């Protein structure tokens, strides 16, 4: 970069106030939903919450559906409703919301709105506008100031804030508006009447398309006596934000001719398409539905439903980038893994563990660990989703860390589909070993056998090294069930000899040739007194003793045995790890890293859909007694993060 380029860059940064450059739609990978709640504790409902989606249909609450900002900290009343979020021209974000706490104060009056501003979606500055106090000449008798929203006026180069107003001495519901000042902490001048619908309206939402401003709102129809006979989502249009606004008196939602009430309409454009979504709040039915359009005039007749793990009330949606998605995850959690997982070859997702489980954005199981220099590499099975009723695992994942707190996730390095011979379609437990300047990944595929993949780097990508299984059920000579050939564990001894252990119900082992992709000699079976083997063998060495740990019984615990030689005889030493919470299976990796030993395992502890089939990897300390026996593992919520320095 030359000197001129550096000067230009610095000027751009200075001009933007150090905010990020405004993202383009091409950068959007998902959606952010700002809403308030419609269920659970009523005193917590009227607070700002965020939800995220990859496709604008399936939604996930951030922060376990708890507020991301306390209304008590940002509002005059102690509550907020109807949050509207907008991506600002400088790359930041703006939110407007109704300053109203109906649970505490009722519906009689709310005189103001809340303005929020952020550069990163995480830290927000807020300001309260009380219209009755700020503009008493016009608004001293204001009753309601509802559902404020913001749109950027390209001609005025300002943000127009518009909202519904009702006065105490009137039943009219009209739209008023005012330009926000440059700091977005107040108005330039007293709000003025913007639009006076024939029968009144609430919940306005303006969308600009092809030279026309489309104002969607909840309108109604009244008879000659002034009685409301119909209501629903209507629209007015204008060529200018200053009006005039022309009503068409048509109803756009699918429920206008029914007894089902809707409000809180909001329109947003789907990423990378020419399609728009008109969504609305079926507030008496605890549902949120939507209809589609390409021209904002005609909408699909049949409404569709969101799937979601929260109950949103009147909110709004914007597109968000991968960087923003990851920022939201690192702050609050709850983002679906499809939005976080690296896809491009050079993409990386950096995150911090906050105790156990160490990974909460994905369901991970069957850990295997490898230390290379100052880096611990963690290889994981991947439970497909939360709340599963059976095992669904289609690929494997890889992470690295240098301090057990700060982690890096890499693109998916290996999929079950990479093994053409693996007809089972199951990506079960696996382990990676470094040898000969390469990395060998031994995987189990349920009844299809154990395969080997190879890569030049620990993060992959890996490819099938054999084109066929290394081991199959035929090698499990003492077994009769179809899933006997699983859970490979490879250990390279001090003399350079590599060994592979595996099995279910019976534990098998064999030598590996130096190529690491061929068995050297006969397959043998391990047996000794009190050996109640289920699966998940792992071999490690400490002070010239060999330690065989394994899952025992069902639900599984981890037990271990010791020997002076790798082929035994082994002496049973007892239970090492109790049943891991909310998981019938238990699977361990034991590794020394920077002078300390660690026990890596899985449980089913991710809130709220963790289970025996939707598991999560944890790490706790492993310690030895002076005689070499291992101390019982203490599973903790804090994990090793509790003592890892920042």
Active site residues: 366, 535
Structure tokens at 449: 């056998």
Q: Collect all residues with Cβ–Cβ distance below 8 Å to 385 and sequence separation of at least 6.
A: 363, 392, 609, 614
Shortest CA distance to 503 belongs to which of 521, 490, 485? 485
CA-to-CA separations, 510 to 102, 256, 368, 405, 588, in angstroms, rounded: 70, 72, 19, 36, 20
Cα 35 to Cα 105: distance, rounded to the nearest angstrom = 20
Shortest CA distance to 601 belongs to which of 589, 612, 613, 614? 589
DSSP state of 611: B
**CB-CB contact of 364 with 602 (8 Å):** yes
Structure tokens at 517: 């992709």
Phi, psi at residue 416, to the nearest 5°?
A: -60, -30
Residue 442 C-alpha from the chain's centroid: 29
**CB-CB contact of 623 with 577 (8 Å):** no
Structure tokens at 207: 């969308």
Residue 109 C-alpha from the chain's centroid: 38
The set of long-range contacts for 574-582, using a CB threshold of 8 Å and a minimum separation of 24, is 575/632, 576/549, 576/630, 576/632, 576/633, 577/601, 577/632, 577/633, 577/635, 578/633, 578/635, 579/555, 580/604, 580/618, 580/635, 581/605, 581/635, 582/610, 582/611, 582/612
> Sheet of 596-603: strands edge to edge?
589-593, 596-603, 616-622
Q: Collect all residues with Cβ–Cβ distance below 8 Å to 554 and sequence separation of at least 6.
A: 534, 584
Phi, psi at residue 616, to the nearest 5°?
A: -150, 135
Determine the 3-state secondary structure of 194 from DSSP. strand
Residue 283 C-alpha from the chain's centroid: 26
Cα 547 to Cα 551: distance, rounded to the nearest angstrom = 13
Residue 377: count other Cβ atoms within 10 Å of its Cβ: 20
Q: Collect all residues with Cβ–Cβ distance below 8 Å to 2 and sequence separation of at least 6.
A: none
DSSP 408-469: EE-S--EEGGG-TT-TT-----EEEEEETTEEEEEEEBTBT-EEEEEESSTT---EESSSS-
């Amino acid at each position: 970069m030359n000197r001129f380029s550096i000067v230009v860059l610095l000027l751009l940064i200075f001009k933007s106030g150090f905010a990020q450059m405004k993202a383009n739609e091409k950068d959007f990978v998902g959606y952010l939903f700002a809403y308030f709640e419609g269920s659970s504790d009523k005193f917590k409902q009227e607070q700002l919450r965020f939800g995220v989606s990859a496709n604008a249909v399936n939604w996930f609450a951030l922060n376990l559906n708890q507020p991301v900002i306390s209304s008590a900290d940002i509002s005059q009343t102690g509550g907020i409703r109807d949050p509207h979020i907008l991506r600002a021209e400088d790359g930041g974000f703006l939110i407007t919301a109704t300053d109203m706490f109906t649970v505490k104060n009722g519906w009689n009056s709310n005189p103001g709105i809340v303005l929020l501003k952020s550069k990163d979606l995480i830290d927000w500055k807020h300001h309260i506008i009380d219209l009755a106090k700020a503009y008493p000449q016009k608004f001293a008798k204001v009753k309601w100031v509802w559902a404020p929203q913001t749109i950027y006026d390209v001609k005025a180069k300002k943000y127009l804030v518009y909202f519904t107003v009702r006065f105490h001495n009137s039943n009219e519901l009209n739209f008023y508006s005012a330009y926000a000042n440059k700091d977005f902490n107040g108005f330039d001048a007293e709000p003025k009447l913007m639009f006076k619908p024939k029968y009144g309206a609430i919940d306005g939402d303006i969308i600009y398309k092809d030279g026309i401003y489309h104002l969607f709102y909840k309108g109604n129809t009244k008879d000659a006596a002034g009685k409301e006979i119909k209501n629903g989502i209507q629209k007015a249009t204008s060529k200018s934000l200053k009006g005039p606004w022309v009503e068409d008196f048509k109803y756009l939602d699918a429920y206008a001719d029914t007894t089902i009430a809707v409000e809180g309409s909001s329109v947003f454009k789907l990423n990378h398409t020419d399609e728009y979504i008109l969504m609305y709040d079926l507030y008496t039915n605890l549902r949120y539905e939507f209809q589609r359009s390409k021209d904002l005039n005609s909408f699909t007749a049949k409404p569709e439903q969101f799937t979601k793990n929260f109950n949103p009330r009147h909110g709004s949606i914007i597109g968000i980038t991968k960087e923003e998605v990851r920022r939201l995850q690192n702050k609050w959690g709850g983002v679906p893994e499809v939005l976080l997982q690296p896809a491009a070859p050079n993409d990386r997702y950096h995150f911090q563990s906050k105790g156990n489980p160490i990974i909460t954005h994905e369901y991970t199981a069957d850990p295997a660990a490898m230390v290379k220099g100052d880096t611990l590499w963690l290889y994981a099975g991947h439970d497909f989703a939360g709340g599963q009723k059976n095992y669904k695992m289609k690929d494997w994942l890889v992470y690295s860390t240098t301090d057990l707190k700060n982690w890096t996730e890499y693109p998916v390095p290996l999929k079950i589909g990479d093994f053409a011979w693996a007809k089972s379609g199951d990506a079960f437990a696996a382990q990676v070993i470094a040898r000969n300047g390469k990395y060998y990944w031994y995987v189990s595929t349920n009844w299809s056998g154990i395969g080997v993949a190879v890569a030049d780097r620990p993060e992959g990508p890996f490819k099938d090294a054999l084109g066929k299984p290394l081991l199959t059920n035929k090698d499990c000579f003492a077994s009769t069930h179809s899933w006997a050939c699983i859970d490979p564990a490879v250990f390279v001894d001090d003399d350079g000899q590599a060994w592979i252990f595996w099995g279910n119900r019976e534990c098998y082992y064999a030598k590996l040739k130096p190529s690491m992709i061929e068995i050297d000699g006969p397959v043998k079976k391990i047996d000794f007194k009190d050996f109640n083997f289920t699966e998940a063998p792992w071999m490690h060495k400490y002070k010239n003793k060999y330690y065989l740990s394994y899952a025992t019984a069902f639900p599984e615990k981890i037990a271990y045995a010791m020997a002076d030689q790798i082929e035994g005889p082994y002496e049973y030493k007892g239970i090492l790890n109790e049943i891991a919470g909310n998981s019938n299976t238990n699977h361990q990796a034991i590794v020394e890293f920077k002078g300390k030993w660690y026990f890596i395992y899985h449980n089913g502890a991710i809130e709220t859909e963790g289970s025996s089939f939707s598991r999560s990897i944890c790490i706790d300390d492993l310690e030895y007694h002076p005689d070499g026996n291992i101390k019982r593992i203490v599973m903790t919520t804090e994990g090793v993060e509790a003592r890892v320095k920042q």
